[in-house]
Structure 1
């Protein structure tokens, strides 16, 4: 994955000796899309510009805009008509068809290879894994199912990750002392590991990990979490009754900024979680919230593996970006822009450009 991230940065971030404006969210979205495609789907799909430029980017944009447009513009009984008349919904369906046309020959080739018993099977990627998974379930992986699964994974992998990366980058620019410390840590660990970045060497970037987690705590991405609806009535022992259809959730932003949980919760302390790991438990307080040992040895944690892919990809991208480029706001004295709110969702202002340039050698 290290090489995948490096190639993505080289393609997306051309050398530039003078300060040049860019939108960090768009850059990180492109970087995550390319890296995720390479890691999850293999070189054949990742190398196709039409998969990224013509399918993924417009699909994500329309997918985000379609639900509010349908909810606000159509009565519930008429929402089935949206795919014929509402522009963003129509483009979502169009994006699915474009993706199907790209994936059809790839799926056919993989199925032929799978059925050819005389050939040794190559190392797996996402398409091969899905074929095996559907076979194990006694189902056929159709073109429609493959398209749905890959688009779902891609959107989940890159949209949130790019927004998180954008938010962290804003916080880095706001705190030059912490940024210098992160760059120094990257240099020291990189020299010690001979430039070979794997999960073990990435785990040694403790200050970077702590900074990332503190950024996510202070600038959280949702006001509430675990949003659910009761599908059956439930009575607690104290008599509290939850009727069918009740919507439930737990506070997230409020707890992150609760002084009873975090000392001096309103301040940004870049080393807050690295200190917690030293004082409390070295296997806790990571950016991905669960220790590496829990994945390696199965110690009882139930973690989504995707969070570790996102964490390691994000660190690798920061290694390349912070090593080779400088970043600053477009206006002197500018600080982190206010976050944007969409219902319970919170995110960085992706409309704010920053300046970048290649570091002087």
Structure 2
């Protein structure tokens, strides 16, 4: 049986490009061993974290990532033929794996959660690690209180669009920054953000001083860099910052040093905390259940940017860094 995988052909040097990837065919065994399953990818995830993760990979490694897949063949009791799974097996269209030996964060297989009729692809986005990052990062790290002001960077992205809506559900005033006027209109008109701004056309510092005169209580950050410096300077005493990502530094990790406002951090007693969502692994079922409930209630709106064809995964990945996606980037195999 012939399968395809997408490997890291060359290490990234600055901005990623199509030459960094290569589609390779491989022949899979005709029969499975005990404990193995054969998966066919249906939806695959593209995420910004894959860029810095690639710097730690070896040339020839399969690009890391998750997918929703169908079990075509099985010799494992917990994964019967015809069932669906969420599998962290990388950029592959067909995969033979042994779930019992896969326990690491980026190497595991789980039964597809019961999403109560929501699209299966949501298990990679709003009800997957994306949604869980927004949920736990906001609830556990930022701990927003009703009436507080929450700023969200990359507010039209997969995580930021959800984090802002969750803050709104919690009764907060939400201020979002996105990369185009169209995205700003979306987060304001569709998602219900109180204010939205195109970060390419405004000064974050000036905007926050004008529209958040009462100060910023929480900041959900997926960008890093100079933008984060500006937000920190406008935070209230005991403000909380959840560091979810730093996409502004991913294409040039050597140039990630920015000014740091030590006085604000000290005298305002701010809390700045980075997090990996697997910290709350034992609470994932609760998080998925709550996210699905909010979606069914219409409180949480979801948008996906879908790319057709497994062979187009590299381009879908590159598009993330060009700001072409709304919400979650998904490749339909």
- The interval holding the TM-score normalised by the smaller chain is under 0.3
Q: Which has the higher strand share?
A: 2
TM-score normalised by structure 2 residue count: 0.26
Q: Indicate the structure whose relative CO is greater, using CA pairs within 8 Å and at least 6 residues apart.
A: 1
- Select the structure that is richer in helix: 1
